[in-house]
Structures are given as structure tokens and as C-alpha cells.
Amino acid sequence: MITRSATQLLSASLHYCDRTLQDQAQEKARQLAAGLVDLVPPDADFLDPTDPKFRHETLLHFEVKKILSESREIRVPKLQARVSKLAKNGKDVTRQWERPSQVIPLQDIQLERMSGRVIPDVIAKVAPEHGHTLLIEVTVTNQISDERLGRIQVMNVPTLEINLSFCGGLITRHDLKKLVVQGLETKRWIHHPEVFLQETILAGQVDAVVTSMGPANQNTAEYRQHVLATPLSEIAEDYLNSVFSLAEYDREEVIDDRLREAKAVAKNYVQLNAQKLAIHGYPNANHEQLIGHRYSIIPRILSIKFGRGVGYRLDSTMAVMNAIRQTNDRNSYNHSLYLIAEKAYRPADAQPHPTWYTYWVDCIKESIKSGESTYARDGKLDRLLSLLFPEMAAGLAHGFGKKQARSEPDLHTTIQGFKAPRQAKPNTV
């Protein structure tokens, strides 16, 4: 009996311990779950319209915004720029720049809903020296597409990716906060204007070194042969990129010595590429109307093409066109170029033109039709613009807004002012 009672007591004791351990385990699991991101917060009404398959990803975006709103800072990776070019003597010329990792203060953190996107991204205001705006892409299951990357590059704002693809399961808020605020292992820069700026500076420095190595002089026959052997499309692309870079410096509200140096280098780079275009038979590439400032022809056409201001802060094509319309300058004769560009780069799914735009276009057409000179351009730059913007070539060839060529002076004259009879001209179709 004694043995049996002892066995029963031991069994009861073990059963009690099992229940205690189970209760403790459940409590621990409950406490752990309370710290998991997948535990829906009370204010999660924003999840109601979300597709269930995007629920976890949307919740991570929400938590990242919440974490950044509380911390009001984020550590970002270092920035790097490197430009390398092979000189004719076979020597590799390389210049590089780097900005170390740093903590950036944040303000006004919001979830941004982009058109065509289900999952929101995080956007925050930062100091001017950090680019004014910081866009944070939180990727989990879907990586950034080429189309999305293209939109980011056109927006030209610093964009940071936080890759949480390993969090396909659960992650605690504590661990997520460490990754988002101070961690670097899951972060990378997708785009940063400062890198583009520094690459422009470095490219100018590298080109200066390469040019000094040979051909020794840009006026030599050897240099001309080198330029002529370079595809015209490649030179045109370099020229456009350099003009874009030069115009973009006008976006900066604070101009310091670094920006002045960068702008000077960018201007020299424009002139170098303009000289190459001249060698290929396009002598007007350095024309002041084309490249002088952000209100010049090429930056304005680039603005229309990209659907946002190049060199100034406008966020749509119509905003760009309205700025052009309201500019009361002596260059209104170039407005027909911008109408051609708007038509050439207008997306198929674009909204109907606003009333003010159609009225403005009608006024320009009526002025041109009546023979007024206000909106009549000379057309000297059309050939170059057709090269740089092939989508506009057909519109430029049509001749809209172009002055009618004057007839050549009659050369069949004799002394004493007597004019010989004109020769009959053949009929033309």
C-alpha cells in the first residue's frame, strides 16, 4: 500500500508539474505574441481593404512608419561614387568618392500611396543637406521592379530600401526596431542625387586626365578621328545627361562651394560634349538657348519628357507647361517646341487636358496661322533636337511654329539695276 500510494502521489505531482509548465509556456507564448508584428494593433482599420496576401507586408510598412515616428531618426548606409575610364595609352583612370554611414533626423513621417501600388511606402522630410525628402521602400515579398525604379529615378529623391524578405514569418517589434533604426545589414540606397552629383564631378576630373593623356590636344586631327569613331547616339546621350545634371543644380536652395564646383564641372562637361556634337556636324549644341539655365529649351523638354521639373520643383507635365505659359520672356517663339514635346511624350492613359491648356494651345495656333511672329521660331535648332529627342522628330519635321523660309535674293541682275527676266520654275507637288 505504501508503494502504491507513493506511485500515485508521484504521478499526481508530475501531472501538476505538466499543467504548470504548460500554463507557463502558454503565458510565455502570449507575451511573445504581444511583441510580434503580426499581432494586429487596435488602430488597424487601414488593413480592412487590403488583400489578405498583402496583409503581413502592409502591417510591416505600418510598423516601420510607427517605429520611425517614435525614433525620429534612421541610420543610413554610406554613399559611394566611382568613375573609371580607359585612356588611349591603355592606362585606367579612376576617381572615387565616399560619404560614411550616418544618422539622419526625420520629420513628418507618412505612408505614401503611389498610384498602381497596393502596399504603401514610407516618406519623410529631412534637412536640405540630406535632400529635403527621404523615400523608404520596405520590400518583403515583391522586389522593386524596373518600372518602379524608373519612377524613382525620375523623381530624383534619395530612396532607401529596407529589405525584410527574411521576415516572411514573424518578427518581434524589438528586433524590427533594431533593424529599421540602427541596422545596416538590410539597407541599401536605390537612388541618391548626391551620388549622381559626385559622379558628374568625378567624370569631369577623369575626362580632364584622359584628355591630357591623349590625344594631347582636342584640336588635333587624331582627336577628331577619335570623336568621329564614337557612335553619335552615345555622344548625344552623354550630352543630354550633362545638360540634365547642369540644370538640376538649380533645384538646390543652398548653394555652397561644393555645388559651385560641381556646377562648374558639369558646365565644362556640357561644353566638351557640345564640341563632340559639333565635330559630328551639329554646331549649335552649345547655343545659349539650349543649355544656359533651367528655363532653357533642353531642360524644359526633359521636364516634359519626365513629367516633373528638371531644375525646379514641379511634379507633373501640366505644372511644367503652366510654368512655361506664365513665363513672360522673349523666348515665347520656342513655345511651339514644348507643345510638340507634350504631344510626343503624352502617355496614352493621360487625363484630358485642362481648359487653360487647350485655350493656350488654341491661342498659339491662331497666332501662328495669322502669320504673327510671337510664336514663330527660326528652326535652326530643329535638326539637333530631332537627334536628341527622336520622339519629337516627326512633329518638328511637320514645321508647326516654324517661320516660313524667305525666298533667295534674285541673282539675275545686271549693272545699272536692270533685272533680267526670271527663269520659269518647274512645278512642284
Check pLDDT > 70 for residue 161.
yes
Contact (CB, 8 A) for 377 and 402:
yes
| pLDDT of amino acid 10 | 40
Q: Which of 85-89, 293-297, 381-385 is most confident?
A: 381-385
* Main-chain phi, psi angles of 160, to 5 degrees: -110, 135
Q: Which of 44-58, 67-81, 100-114, 203-217 is most confident?
A: 67-81
Contact (CB, 8 A) for 171 and 143:
no
Check pLDDT > 70 for residue 55.
no
Distances in whole angstroms, Cα of residue 352 to Cα of each of 16, 39, 304, 314, 347: 75, 45, 16, 19, 11
Q: Give, for 136, the enclosing helix (H) or strand (E).
A: strand 133-139
* Main-chain phi, psi angles of 71, to 5 degrees: -80, -35
Indicate the angle between helix axes 335-345 and 355-369, nearest 10 degrees. Answer: 130
Distance CA 274, CA 282 (A): 8
List, in sequence order, every beta strand (DSSP E) within 171-322.
187-191
Residues of the chain above pLDDT 70, percent: 72
Q: Give, for 162, the enclosing helix (H) or strand (E).
A: strand 159-163
* Main-chain phi, psi angles of 9, to 5 degrees: -65, -40
Its pTM surpasses 0.85 = no
Q: Give, for 236, the enclosing helix (H) or strand (E).
A: helix 232-248
Window from 93-107, 256-270, 280-294, 365-379 with minimum mean pLDDT: 256-270
Residue 364 has which C-alpha cell?
Answer: 498659339
How many other CB atoms are found less than 10 A from the CB of residue 333? 16
List beta partners, residue 68.
Answer: none
217: confidence class by pLDDT, cuts 50, 70, 90: low
Contact (CB, 8 A) for 92 and 86:
yes
Contact (CB, 8 A) for 298 and 277:
no
Distances in whole angstroms, Cα of residue 233 to Cα of each of 241, 280, 284, 340, 382: 12, 11, 17, 22, 17
385: confidence class by pLDDT, cuts 50, 70, 90: very high
Q: 190 vs 258, which has greater pLDDT?
A: 190
* 129 contacts: CB under 8 Å, gap ≥ 6: 254
What pLDDT, in 10s, does the model give residues 171-183?
Answer: 788 888 888 999 9
Say how many CA atoms lie within 13 Å of 306 toward its Cβ: 22
Window from 189-193, 235-239, 339-343, 414-418 with minimum mean pLDDT: 414-418
- Rounded to the nearest 5 degrees, what angle is found at the Cα of 181, between the Cα atoms of 176 and 182? 105
| pLDDT of amino acid 23 | 54
| pLDDT of amino acid 253 | 61
State the chain's mean pLDDT as an integer: 76
34-62 mean pLDDT: 53
Contact (CB, 8 A) for 176 and 162:
no
396-422 mean pLDDT: 54
| pLDDT of amino acid 196 | 81
100: confidence class by pLDDT, cuts 50, 70, 90: very high
Distance CA 155, CA 191 (A): 10
Distance CA 390, CA 137 (A): 34
Contact (CB, 8 A) for 130 and 123:
no
| pLDDT of amino acid 60 | 76
| pLDDT of amino acid 78 | 94
Check pLDDT > 60 for residue 80.
yes
Window from 48-57, 142-151, 197-206 with minimum mean pLDDT: 48-57
3-class SS of residue 383:
helix
Residues of the chain above pLDDT 90, percent: 26
* 211 contacts: CB under 8 Å, gap ≥ 6: 218
